[in-house]
Every structure is written in structure tokens, then in C-alpha cells.
Amino acid sequence: MKILHVISSIDPGGGGPIEGVRQLRAPLRERGVQVQVCCGDAPDAPCVRDSELDVIALGPSSLKYGFNRRMVPWLRAHCEAYDAVIVEGLWQYHALAVWLALRGKRVPYFVFTHGMLDPWFRDHYPLKHLKKSLYWLVGDYWVLRHARGVLFTCGEEKLRSSGAFWPYRCREVVASYGTAQPPQDSAPLREVFLSAFPAVRGKRIVLFLGRIHEKKGCDLLVEAFAGVAAAHPALHLVLAGPYDTALRAMLEQRIAAHGLSTRVSWTGMLKGDLKWGAFHAAEVFCLPSHQENFGVAVAEALGCGVPVLISDKVNIWREIVADGAGLVGPDTAQGATACLQQWLQAEPAAQARMRIAARQSFARRFHAGQAAQRLLDIIHGAAEATQPVHHAAAG
């Protein structure tokens, strides 16, 4: 089998979709599948040159919309060399290009929405939602309408997505999502991280790792940390990931106002051993996000045996609760504080049980091998979870 992923960009700074593609590559290859990725990046872009993926780079693209005049002709000419095409995400030209190019072709395409239909965006960015509503009527509605399947990472994402836009008509499929087993040699990896950031050595690390974006609730985490810091002097907050300069400045002002500047470390984006060392050095992982369709970093933390403190807007929260692998609260400062306090007040034996449950939850639900097999089942038409065409009520 041969699969083509189509994505606007493979730049890892753009968020989770390309990381999902990367994580699926190895288990798909183990199952005899050849995977290629078509993107709108320039062929000489660093993210293309450095990628381990088999990349077809058709860029550079133009506009924020990612318009690329080469994409539709290339897809028309080459799509039938593939058994399936997977559209990674919405609201950019690559999704429309697949729909335009594959009309009348034998090859089916599927769409991974990656949380991009979540109503949080409608409620918090009403002007952007108005613009998206226009895109929806002339483009993205038809992209989803004619897809062989619209893929959601979990039932919660599917539930939240179905009423965000009207009209809404597509073949909904709850797929799966996951990541590779993280490296388990915790002691040397932990030392790599602690050597790079000596200020956190000997501390009880509360870790956030991901894009530092307003939807991630980093401001809530800062307030929660401030609420418990005085009672737990060894506690140290690590904020790891790429950030917007203005948002970081605002967060640093809040941190300084609480007198906690020396107890918060900013690492920037972490990769390789530094990233895994951060997970293995952490006591707990926090993501009080306002919207998260899956949360690859949540799964990675679980795979490292690190309990997760997340909001109920991280769409896999029900699975975390069911497995006892973490704590869940609302996406408010009070909710984040309550989760952190509950963890800190737990008996050591209870914390140890949660660490064991974290690893078990990863193995049961979030390993990339399971996600790859589920995707193949869907492509082959063997999955029974495909839902009938769904018509959302108007309004």
C-alpha cells in the first residue's frame, strides 16, 4: 500500500499535525506501507532538508492561506499512484487542492481535522470565524462532504466538531492517534536535561511542553503555580516550547508580580534527548488548555510514566480519568490550581500508582502502532466505527 499525506507545511513549529504524520510513519512502514508527504514548503527549506520523511515539496506557497499553484496539477498527475490520500488539517489551500484534484479520480481521500472544527475557535475569534464561514461554504464544506471519511482522534473531538459550522454533512469516523514509545533510559536522559538547565537540578519540576500559545492556558498554569509555590518551596515550573514574544512578556510580568521569576525556567523548543530528559525529570506534566483535539505531549508524558494534569478541554480527558493516569479540571485558574493541589496533597503511594497507570494508559490507548492499524482498517473499509452521513441541525 502507498499513502500520501498532504499538508500545508512540515515545519514542526506549526503544531501537532506534522508530528502526527511523523509518528505514524514507522508503524505504517512496519506494516508494509510506503508513506510520502506532499507539502507547500520550499524544497530548500530547512524543515524539508532536515526531515526524515519522504517529502515532495511544491512551494514556496503564498499568503497565509498557503496558496500554491503547483499543488493541484501535481496531485492530478500523481494521485493515482497512491491507494489513499490523507488531508492533514483544514482552512488552508492544501485541503481545497486535494478536493479539486481528486474529483473523478479512483483514489479515495480522508481528512484529519486535527481539532480545527472545535467551537472554541468560533467563540474566541468571532471575526476569524466569520471569514472561516465563507471558506466553509465555498471550500471546506465540500472538502469534507466528498471525503471518504472525516477522521477524529477521539469521540470527544467528533462530538465537539459537529455543530461548529453549517451546513455540515460528512462521513464521520473516530480514528485514533498516538506516538512512538518514548525512550525509557530515564537516568541518563534526565541528566542531559539537568546539565543543560542546572537551575532546575534538585527541584520538583512541574512541566509544560508545547507551543506557548494563548489557547494552551499557560496563564492559568502560572496562576496555579503561584497558588501553591509558597507551600512547596522545592517546586519549579518549566515552560518548554516555542513562544510568541508578546505572550511571553505578559507571562513574565505575571510571574514577576508573584515574585517567582527565579522559580520559572524558559527552555525554548526542546528536541531529542533534551526533550525526553525534560519529561523524565518532571514530577508532573500540566496542560490546562482551552482547546486540544488530542495532545501528543500528553501521550508522550504518559509514555514516560509522568502523570498528567489537564483541563476537560483536552479531548482525551475522559480516557485519562478512566485510566487513573492523571487529574482533570475545568480550563480556569481555579481548575488548574485544584489539580495541582490535589497532586501535591496525594500520598506518595497514590502518586506512585498514578505513575504506573500513566504507562499502562499509554500502552493501552496511545501507542502509534495502534493508531496506524486503525488508519489502515479505515482505509480498507474494515472499520465498523464509520458513522452514517450526519446532518447537523440548522442554527
Residue 155 contacts residue 373 (beta carbons within 8 Å): no
Helices (H), 61-152: 71-78, 93-102, 119-124, 126-135, 141-145
Phi, psi torsion values for 205, nearest 5 degrees: -90, 125
For residue 16, give the C-alpha cell: 501537532
Chain position carrying cell 480527558: 317
- Which pLDDT score, from 0 to 100, does residue 154 have? 83
- Over residues 300-307, the mean pLDDT reads 98
- Same domain (yes/no): 78, 60: yes
Asked whether residue 379 carries a pLDDT value surpassing 50, the answer given is yes
Q: What's the mean per-residue pLDDT of the chain?
A: 92
How many angstroms from the chain centroid is the CA of residue 208? 14
- Same domain (yes/no): 154, 247: no
- Same domain (yes/no): 362, 373: no
- Which pLDDT score, from 0 to 100, does residue 390 have? 54
Asked whether residue 264 carries a pLDDT value surpassing 80, the answer given is yes
- Which pLDDT score, from 0 to 100, does residue 187 have? 97
* pLDDT band per the 50, 70, 90 thresholds, residue 386: very low
* pLDDT band per the 50, 70, 90 thresholds, residue 294: confident
- Which pLDDT score, from 0 to 100, does residue 131 have? 86
- Same domain (yes/no): 37, 157: yes
Q: Provide the phi-psi class of 66: left if phi over 0, else alpha when psi is between -120 and 50, else beta.
A: left
- Same domain (yes/no): 241, 385: no
Alpha carbon distance 202, 218 (integer Å): 24
- Same domain (yes/no): 59, 138: yes
Phi, psi torsion values for 375, nearest 5 degrees: -60, -45
pLDDT tens-digit map of 140-154: 999 999 999 999 988
Asked whether residue 306 carries a pLDDT value surpassing 90, the answer given is yes
- Which pLDDT score, from 0 to 100, does residue 17 have? 85
Asked whether residue 382 carries a pLDDT value surpassing 70, the answer given is no
Render the burial of 88-122: b for 16+ CB within 10 Å, e for the rest: bbbbbbbbbbbbbbbeeeebbbbbbbbbbbbebbb
Asked whether residue 395 carries a pLDDT value surpassing 50, the answer given is no
- Same domain (yes/no): 244, 168: no
Nearest by Cα to 99 from 159, 150, 28 = 150
- Same domain (yes/no): 54, 151: yes
- The pTM for the full model equals 0.80
- Same domain (yes/no): 333, 378: no
Alpha carbon distance 208, 198 (integer Å): 18
**Exposed, middle or buried, 12 (CB in 10 Å: 0-12/13-18/19+)?**
middle
Asked whether residue 388 carries a pLDDT value surpassing 50, the answer given is no
Q: Which CATH number belongs to the domain containing residue 130 in this structure?
A: 3.40.50.2000
pLDDT tens-digit map of 84-109: 999 999 999 999 999 999 999 999 99
pLDDT tens-digit map of 164-213: 898 999 999 988 888 889 999 999 999 999 999 999 999 999 999 998 99
- Same domain (yes/no): 384, 325: no
Residue 276 contacts residue 47 (beta carbons within 8 Å): no
Domain count, the chain: 2
- Same domain (yes/no): 215, 131: no
pLDDT tens-digit map of 234-247: 999 999 999 889 99
pLDDT tens-digit map of 104-130: 999 999 999 988 888 878 887 888 888
Containing domain of residue 335, as a range?
Answer: 186-366
Asked whether residue 393 carries a pLDDT value surpassing 70, the answer given is no
pLDDT tens-digit map of 318-343: 999 999 999 999 999 999 999 999 99
pLDDT tens-digit map of 2-15: 999 999 999 987 66
- Which pLDDT score, from 0 to 100, does residue 342 have? 98
H-helix or E-strand spanning residue 245: helix 245-257
The residue type at 241: G
- Over residues 40-51, the mean pLDDT reads 94
pLDDT tens-digit map of 63-78: 888 999 999 999 999 9
Residue 168 contacts residue 162 (beta carbons within 8 Å): yes
- Same domain (yes/no): 374, 359: no
